């Protein structure tokens, strides 16, 4: 039995509220999920201790910070040898403005998501970092025109 199956409906309600309102007080949370404040606090602590809650963070507005352009980069490597993947992944971790990098199944080996100021900023990152990644056979960049859906909330 997986840990997720050990959660009940109240745990799921707590997680749902916290994903959308991380700064909610325990008293407000307990009202929203219909628990006493002490029981709500115990459950929230347990959910943290068991790793269901990985962190509490502030979600920033990228546009207000001057990062208005989202770029997706698909990379195909020359091979799949473990040492090449390890070297590639070490170097990818050094790329500024990188939000995500995923090892993929499908036509590309990796998919990256970057936030940049504009095309000139991306060109700089491409020149200084992406073009120097080891073992790259092919790279394709796509610029997002508009974000249609963007959430950090995981279905619980």
Residues of the chain with pLDDT > 90, as a percent, come to 96
What string of DSSP letters covers 60-110?
Answer: P-TTTTT--EEEEEEEEES---HHHHHHHHHHHTT-TTEEEEEE-SSS-SE
Distance CA 36, CA 116 (A): 45
Which domains, ranges and CATH numbers included, belong to the chain?
A: 9-49 (1.10.10.10), 69-143 (3.30.70.920)
**Mean of the per-residue pLDDT values of the chain:** 95
Whether the predicted pLDDT of 147 surpasses 60: yes
What pLDDT band is residue 100 in, cutting at 50, 70 and 90? Answer: very high
Q: How confident is the model at residue 6 (pLDDT cuts 50, 70, 90)?
A: confident
Show the CA angle centred on residue 96, arms to residues 82 and 131, nearest 5°.
60
pLDDT band at 4 (very low <50, low <70, confident <90, very high): low
- Per-residue confidence at 1, pLDDT binned at 50, 70, 90? very low
Under DSSP, is residue 37 helix (H, G, I), strand (E, B) or coil?
helix
Total-model pTM? 0.88
Name the nearest CA neighbour of 70 among 116, 35, 38. 116
Please provide residue 74's backbone torsions phi and psi, each rounded to the nearest 5 degrees.
-100, 130
Mean of the pLDDT values across residues 73-86? Answer: 96
Average pLDDT (47-51) is: 96
| pLDDT at residue 3, as a whole number | 52
Compute the average pLDDT of residues 54-69.
Answer: 95
Binning the chain into helix, strand and coil, the percentages to the nearest 5 are 40, 20, 40
């Amino acid at each position: 039995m997986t840990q997720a199956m050990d959660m009940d409906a109240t745990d799921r309600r707590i997680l749902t509220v916290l994903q959308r309102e991380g700064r909610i007080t325990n008293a407000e949370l307990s009202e929203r999920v219909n628990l006493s404040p002490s029981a709500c606090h115990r459950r929230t602590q347990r959910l943290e201790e068991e790793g269901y809650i990985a962190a509490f963070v502030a979600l920033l507005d990228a546009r207000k910070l001057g990062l208005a352009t989202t770029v997706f980069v698909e990379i195909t490597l020359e091979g799949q040898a473990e040492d090449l993947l390890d070297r590639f992944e070490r170097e990818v971790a050094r790329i500024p403005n990188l939000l995500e990098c995923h090892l993929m199944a499908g036509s590309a080996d990796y998919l990256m998501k970057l936030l940049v100021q504009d095309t000139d900023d991306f060109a700089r990152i491409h020149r200084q970092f992406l073009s120097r990644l080891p073992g790259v056979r092919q790279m394709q960049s796509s610029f997002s025109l508009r974000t249609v859906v963007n959430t950090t909330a995981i279905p619980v």
